[in-house]
Amino acid sequence: MSVIAPPLPAAVAPHVTVLIDRCAGCQECIVRCPTGALTLDSASWTALADDLVCVGCRQCVRTCPFSAITVTGPMVSPTRVEAQTVRPASLLGDHTETRRGLGTWADALVEAARCLDCPDPTCVRGCPTHNDIPGFISALSTGDLDGAHRVLRRTSILPDVCSRVCDQAVQCEGSCSWSLAGGTPVAIGALERFVTENAPAPPLTRSSDRGEGLDVAVVGSGPAGAAAAWALAEAGAQATVFEKDHAPGGLLRWGIPDFTLPAAVAQRPWDELAAAGVKLRCNSEVGAGDVADLLASHDAVIIANGAGLPLMPPVPGTDLQGVWDATRFLTLASTALSGGGRFLSVESDQAAIEPGREMTVLVLGGGNTAMDVARTARRLNMHPVCVDWMDRRFAPVRPDELEEAEAEGVEVRFTTTLERLEGSEGRVTTAWLRRTEQTRGDRRPRVLEGAADPMAVDLVVLAMGYRIDPALAQDWPSSPVAKVVPDLVDRQWLGSGLFANPSPEFARHQPVGRLAVARESTRQIAALPRADRVWVVGDALIGPSTVVEAMAQGREAALAVLDRFPLRPGRSARPGPKRVLVAYESRGGRTARLAALVAAQLAAPGREVRSLPVAKVGVRELASADLLVVGTWVEGAVVAGVGPAPISRTWLRQLPRLGGLPTAIFCTYGVAPKGTLPQMTQELERCGARVVAKQAFRAHASAAGTNRLAKHFAETIAESLAVAAPIAVGQ
């Protein structure tokens, strides 16, 4: 079952020009063209284009390394089918969902037909979980919704949630070929939602015995914790989730109103997790001092607690009664809307607010949480006013959320900031507001001179975002981890063309390529333990993050736990081989030969040994190693000072947290190693590695002497694999 758009007349087809003097015949354009419009001229060894087959997606332009192709003319794509939005006749007390999916099968098939099924789909790179987007759309196009579900399930446990709350414009849809070409992308979020609404989600089933016998504690039941528990349960491991609140879900339960994310949708994954045998311990808060106890009774711990402390503006008056954070407001508002009756009746606040009584609510913030608060307030007949010091053009809010909020009567004042709050008898009554100015999105707004304007308020809600509890964060060195774009982006990412249009219009001129690579870096870091048998993900790892990012990191950490298979003291040895990674830097070949010799000495039944240059060792290689061996040659003069080779020094300084990974180090030297091994030790211990063996090898020593030292070095390393003292939590 599929719909194919009729071909357009040749007169309005795009035109492809291949600059013969620039084309090198590398065939990048040919293998990446989704329509087969490009072939190779074997006589001139240059690309040939067929305008009648071209749809104008410009993928060839973005991926040609020699800028040898230009495309003019229109993009041949049907008009995008938009999802429906429902406006309630009366907002008062109404919390039904306002954003609906695609209305009919015909709509879904027409939109699915817009997908080009690109050979190297940039939309997949833009998705934090790397959903196989062309794969699920292809299944949908044939009417196989169960198959589409199965494709999504490979990487996502929350397709029904993410299709509602993801900011697709700066992720998958902003990275779509049509968006990168300056057009309108495929409505990926709407198609994902269509799948989840028209076919039941497949239940959680055990797919392997990979985790059999493993017992893991997961702290937090938000998207990161749910994804971790899900991946563990699928592999047959026992997951126990500790949640400080009375019910699971985290942000999905208390932070997103029903009119955006219905409670039944948020609860669905936890019903399936419970049915699959995941243990849930609600009303069980885990503090900074409790992790050691969890490690004593579990093989591993995944810290997935969310960012729950509200950001407080540095202004006078926030301690007055009637100044609340968004969590408190949304939680009590949800109760009121679900059960009716009084809202926010709190004796300590001397508040008695009921649906039907109009009040003025000042909402500090202009992001999605602020819109949720304000739209909820409208449903309680309040008059909400949102203020944000950023310019409307640069505000971190989805345009559709902002449009819906304003259509529902929310007053939004951008370029406005709060100077102070004043009150009477201990309760807030007046907010003093100042104007700001912002000319660029990468610069902070400037507060303008002049007098502040007073505004009478009945309630103030802080909705500027959240932060991690510092008591927990202090135990994880170098947290939160910053999202960074490396100086040299991986060639596979560059070759995809995702960076060729750095800021598509549909993505609100956001740098989708850089954002995707930055998300990828933190997703990979989630696979590395922060301490022995302790992984940290989601908000706890990178600070406040999106639902889909947290889910991706939780899954990555769980897979790493399954891969490492750590066991608490007293349990039998890990089944399967120990994995040793030998990373070396070599110029003349001596260090490379020695690395191969050490690797050969370490090779034994029950061990997998790999030897790679440090330039090829990244987070993924480190995450899968049970032991790391690092070798370098010594640079410098004895008088002036010697140390590790420059490439080795750079590599060591850029290492992520290694969470107690046993590490052995060696160097090759001509005259004297001097401080080389101590310098390497310092850098490795700085990032949490545990150095278990050291050895310096003289470059011109006899073969017999070198072999003898290498054997002794390998024996010391092997002993550390058999008996490894754990690193202290928080070290």
Cβ contact 627:717 at 8 Å? yes
pLDDT band at 730 (very low <50, low <70, confident <90, very high): very low
Residue 633 forms beta bridges with which residues?
A: 668
Q: Is 277 helix (H, G, I), strand (E, B) or coil?
A: coil
Q: Which of 8, 108, 89, 125 is nearest to 55 (CA)?
A: 8
To 5 degrees, how large is the angle CA 655–CA 489–CA 20? 155
Per-chain mean pLDDT for the chain = 89
pLDDT tier for residue 588 given thresholds of 50, 70 and 90? confident
Mean pLDDT of 207-222: 95
The pLDDT of residue 177 is above 80: yes
What sign does the dihedral 377-96-227-195 (CA atoms) show? negative
Helical H segments across 421-475, by residue range: 470-473
* Amino acid 479: pLDDT: 65
SS3 for 137-181 is HHHHHCCCHHHHHHHHHCCCCCHHHHHHHCCHHHCCCCCCHHHHC
Q: Mean pLDDT lowest for which of 611-620, 633-642, 702-711?
A: 633-642
Distance CA 653, CA 643 (A): 14
Q: Please check whether residue 97 is in contact with residue 258, taking contact to mean a CB–CB distance below 8 angstroms.
A: yes
pLDDT digits (tens, 9 = 90+) for 356-378: 567 899 999 999 899 999 999 99
Sketch out the chain's domains with CATH numbers. 10-72 (3.30.70.20), 87-203+485-526 (1.10.1060.10), 208-303+468-479+530-552+562-569 (3.50.50.60), 310-465 (3.50.50.60), 578-722 (3.40.50.360)
What is the rounded distance in angstroms from the CA atom of residue 698 to the CA atom of residue 704?
12
- Predicted local distance difference test score (pLDDT) of residue 356: 53
Can you give the pLDDT at residue 478?
57
228-273 per-position pLDDT tens digit: 999 999 999 999 999 999 999 988 988 899 999 999 999 999 999 9
Mean pLDDT value of segment 598-625: 91
Residue 727: per-residue pLDDT: 40
What percent of the chain lies above the pLDDT cut of 90?
A: 71
Q: What is the pLDDT of residues 272-281, one digit of tens each?
A: 999 999 999 9
Task: Spell out where 406-469 has E strands.
Answer: 411-413, 416-424, 427-437, 446-447, 453-456, 459-462, 466-467
What is residue 355's predicted lDDT score, i.e. its pLDDT? 52
> For residue 349, is pLDDT > 60?
no
pLDDT at residue 691 in the model: 95
Collapsed DSSP state (helix, strand, coil) of residue 219: strand
Q: How far apart are CA 562 and CA 560, in angstroms?
A: 5
* pLDDT over 70 (residue 173): yes
Say if residue 314's pLDDT is above 80. Answer: yes
Mean pLDDT on 426-451: 92
Provide mean pLDDT across the span 533-551: 92
C-alpha 224/C-alpha 502 separation (Å) is: 29
Query: What type of residue sits at position 446?
Result: R
- The pLDDT, as a whole number, for residue 322 is 93
Checking if the pLDDT of 93 tops 50, the result is: yes
For residues 532 and 682, which has the higher predicted lDDT (pLDDT)? Answer: 682
Structure confidence at residue 613 (pLDDT): 96
Residues for the chain: how many in total?
Answer: 731
Token code pair at residue 677: 């091994």
At 357 the pLDDT is 62
Lowest mean pLDDT among 2-11, 377-386, 565-574: 2-11
Residue 535 has pLDDT above 90, yes or no: yes
Q: What is the pLDDT of residue 223?
A: 96
Element (H, E) at 242: strand 238-242
Residue type, 726: P
Tell me the whole-structure pTM to 2 decimals: 0.90
pLDDT tens track for 554-580: 999 999 999 989 999 888 766 667 899
Instruction: Give the span between the Cα atoms of 385 and 364, in whole angstroms.
Output: 8
Quickly state the pLDDT bin for 477 (edges 50, 70, 90). Answer: low
Distance of alpha carbon 506 from the chain centroid: 21
Structure confidence at residue 440 (pLDDT): 86
Q: Which residues are 331's β-sheet partners?
A: none
At residue 309 the predicted structure's pLDDT band, cuts being 50, 70 and 90, is confident
